[in-house]
Chain A
């Protein structure tokens, strides 16, 4: 069945450093979403990418959708302690989303 993997599984960074998480699907996706889950919280929607090669920015966050629509990345510039949490990608198919394995980010002040 369809699988969505994320790397790395964990990442510890010093505050101010950049961070990137990568998402890879075993199948071509119709779209991809990104969610953030704070410790003890629930996933919260960040963004959706639909077009091949699409790049979107939200302040310090940059999201990319691969040309083949099988991979995506989230890059955070100059991390802050408020960025702590687990970042999930969710690959959109015809009828549902498959969530990736997540990348847990810790930011050291």
Chain B
């Protein structure tokens, strides 16, 4: 099994540019999570999907962030326009189960985003 796949692994962009992060969850998993990790704020849940439907986006910082899951095997997190404070490692995770808050989460390798 390939595990959770994220791309790109590293992204360097300039302030104001659009950034799109991609995630392919483990086949058969029905929940997908986007996290952001920084030294200052730790690991923050941005949004999660269950059966491709966004359930809770209360962690999304502001309107510049948006996430989609058009099908069970693909999700994107978009930042438009990007700002230097968005620099962080973004993780995608997936899990399988009937209840979202009770299953092991499998994390992808992360995307390290640097906004200059």
Tell me the A residues contacting B by CB distance below 8 Å. Answer: 30-31, 33, 35, 41-45, 48, 50, 88, 90, 92-102
Contacts and interface: CB of A to CB of B under 8 A. Distances in A.
Contact of B107 (A44, A94, A95): A44
Contacts of A50: 102
Interface of B: 33, 35, 42-45, 48, 55-56, 91, 93, 99-102, 104-110
A96 B45 contact: yes
Contacts of A33: 104-105
Given A95-B56, A96-B56, A30 B104 contact: no
Contacts of A93: 101
A90 B104 CA distance: 10
Which residue of B42, B91, B93, B106 has the most chain A CB atoms within 10 A of its CB atom? B42
